[in-house]
Amino acid sequence: MRALLLALLLGACGAPAPIVKLQPVEVRVPVPVACVDRKDIPVEPARVGALPDDARVAADLLGDKVLELRHAFRLAAGLLEGCAD
């Protein structure tokens, strides 16, 4: 009986347990996201292939190919500008 009384008295003398209040904290975590839809990416223009013997016709083909490449570049650059900070 004395042991029980002593345990109760000593237990009451201890410091109260600390009260911890949990509060939500906002943490910003960078998450990679796609800034361009895959369907909007321009396709690479086809290669020229064998050129004809006539220099003027070959120059016309190459000139057309340059215009195709520049167009594809402008489309890609326009998409990338939206992604840049």
Convert the pLDDT of each residue in 5-26 to its tens digit.
Answer: 777 666 656 667 788 888 999 9
Coil, strand, or helix at residue 4?
Answer: helix
Q: What is the pLDDT of residue 11?
A: 65
Q: What is the pLDDT of residue 85?
A: 61
Q: Which residues of the chain have pLDDT under 70?
A: 8-15, 85
Q: What is the pLDDT of residue 26?
A: 93
Q: What is the pLDDT of residue 12?
A: 59
Coil, strand, or helix at residue 23?
Answer: coil
